[in-house]
Structures are given as C-alpha cells and as structure tokens.
Amino acid sequence: MADKPPVCDYEGSDYRTRFWEGQGRGYEDQVERVALRRLLPPTGRTLIEIGAGFGRLADEYLGYETVVLFDYSRSLLREAQAVWGHDPRFLFVAGNWYQMPFIPGLFDTMVQVRTLHHAADAPALFAQLARIARPGGRYVLEFANKQNVKAIGRYWLRRQSWSPFTLSPVEFVALNFDFHPRWIRQQLHAARFSPGRTLAVSYFRFAPLKRLLPTRLLVTLDGMMQHTGRIGQLSPSVFVVSAHPAIGETAVPDVTAVPDASAVANTFFACPLCQSPLGSAVNGRLLCPNSVCARQWQVDNGLYDFKEPFA
C-alpha cells in the first residue's frame, strides 16, 4: 500500500439528494438510528462523527456538550452547517482521517456510520482514532459486512468471484470495501480497542420488499433481529461498540506525540502533520507553533479546514 492511502472525496457531490432525500431510504435511516441509540452513550462532554457528511445523524448527538462533525468534503460540511451552524455545540471540521487534527485523548465518544467502506487502510484509521479517544471512551462503528446472506448466495451460485468467508477486505469497486466481522474485531484489538456489543442491521435492505411492506413494520422487525448480532452477523450492515483502551489495559499518555502540550491552554486542535497542539485562531488561521513545521490552517466562516495547509 502507498505511504499515503487514497481518500474518497465527495467534494461538490449531490450525495444528500442522490442517496437520501426522496430516494426511498427511510428504512435504512431509521434502522441505523435504532442501532445507534442502542450503542451510543446518551450524554457526554465531547463527541466526533467521522465522515459526518451533511449531518444526517447530527440530531442524535444533542446530549453532548461539544459535537464535531468531521468529513473530507467541505461542501457536505457546509450543508450540515446550514442546518446546525446556529447551535454553539457543533464544530465543523474538514480533514483527512489518516491525519486527525486533534490532541490525544480528546473524545468521550466517536461515531462512524456508512463511511468505513471507503477506508483503504482501516488499521491506520483505527490507530488515529485510538490516539484521539479518551481513556474509557466509546467508539460506535458501522461497517459493510462481507459475510452477508446475499453475498453468500451469490458466491454459492457462482455469480461473484470473491469469497465472503475469507477474512481479508474486498474492494468490489474502487475505494469501496466490504469487511469480514472477524477481521474488523482483529484490527480493533490491534488498535487497543475492546469490541463489545454487536448488532446485525438492515436485514430487509431489498427494494421489492421495501415497496411491498410498510417501512414502520420493516423497522420493527429489523429492530428485533438486530440482537442476532450477538451470535453471528449475516446482515449487510454491522454495528459494534468498542471501549478504549482495551479492557484490562491502562492508558499511558504518549507525551512524545504532542510536544509541549501543557504550554498551550485549553487545546483542542493539533497540527495534522506534526501533532503539535494549536492555540486559538488568529485572523482566521491556526498557526502551528513547531518551527520545523510552521504550517497554517484556515478557519473560514466557522469551518475548520485541515485538508491542506493555508501556507
């Protein structure tokens, strides 16, 4: 794999209207909210959604003091900002999830729904999230399940070449991956997360069935079947909540990861390139205090932009 994994960029896309609004995905939206509410701590100090896009799930986070909507697409974050920008709890941050622009141990809760399938290097992403997770924090992850009923049937009927039973991720189209549940748990453990409660979600993601039966009924049935995730996962979508650090471990701060962190009061952001803590914005810019790095990052009308340095 290349030194810098490729990143899927939805900049300027019509993702919200093409995939969600008016597209018959009420069932998917509602069952994901059922699963999220079952796993998400209802209150806390700081929460980040990784790959928040246009903020579809933002209203689920209102029990938190500070909510970061993080995405690679500035344009999607602007759509989220148009809805939630009036709420001082929300911060809108653009950046690369392989170079998270936050100080270590910042977030009580991390949420990632419908975006891991774009991760060309999921272990590298998990390592970044482990760095910014508060000791004892929670990570609620949804991922596309490689070992789902449809994939198994297609494989047995020889309508697809890849096996749903092998552990390695499969890239079925460019930058779109399905993952085996056991492989995901292995990688979470490697990043010092402790995977816990698991839910199998979206069993009825089948267009003819959604047209035939009321959404409310399908959501109720799916909500009942989500608990099958305890014994196995055959659904197209899987939710798992993990604790960090892993159970039985003690979090040891990495004092080398953030040089002179104690010298900057009330730090929140860190330079994504060198991890030096950043102070408050000056004239719309966050200045990296590391003389070797010295990058500047723009704050444009409430959007913290860490995709590329300003200077």
Please report, rounded to a whole number, the percentage of residues in the chain having pLDDT higher than 70: 92
pLDDT higher than threshold 60 for residue 297:
yes
| Beta-carbon contacts of residue 248 (< 8 Å; ≥ 6 apart) | none
Answer whether 248's CB lies under 8 Å from 242's CB. Answer: no
pLDDT tens, position by position, 176-205: 999 999 999 999 999 999 999 999 999 999
pLDDT tens, position by position, 145-160: 999 999 999 999 999 9
Q: What is the pLDDT of residue 82?
A: 98
Task: Centre a 10 Å sphere on the Cβ of residue 220 and count the other Cβ atoms it contains.
Answer: 14
Work out the burial of residue 99: count CB atoms within 10 Å of its CB; fewer than 13 is exposed, 13-18 middle, 19 or more buried: middle
pLDDT tens, position by position, 9-55: 999 999 999 999 999 999 999 999 999 999 999 999 999 999 999 99
pLDDT tens, position by position, 102-134: 999 999 999 999 999 999 999 999 999 999 999
The span from the CA of 149 to the CA of 165, in Å, is 11
| CATH 3.40.30.10, applies to 15-247 | no
pLDDT higher than threshold 90 for residue 3:
no
Domain residue limits, the chain: 15-247, 255-302
**Structural tokens at position 69:** 């909507």
pLDDT higher than threshold 70 for residue 8:
yes
Q: How confident is the prediction for the chain on average, in pLDDT?
A: 92
Answer whether 111's CB lies under 8 Å from 86's CB. Answer: no
Q: What is the pLDDT of residue 247?
A: 55
pLDDT tens, position by position, 207-247: 999 999 999 999 999 999 999 999 999 999 999 999 998 65
pTM of the model as a whole: 0.93
Q: What is the pLDDT of residue 257?
A: 41
Confidence band, pLDDT 50/70/90 cuts, at residue 254? very low
Q: What is the pLDDT of residue 72?
A: 98
pLDDT higher than threshold 80 for residue 282:
yes
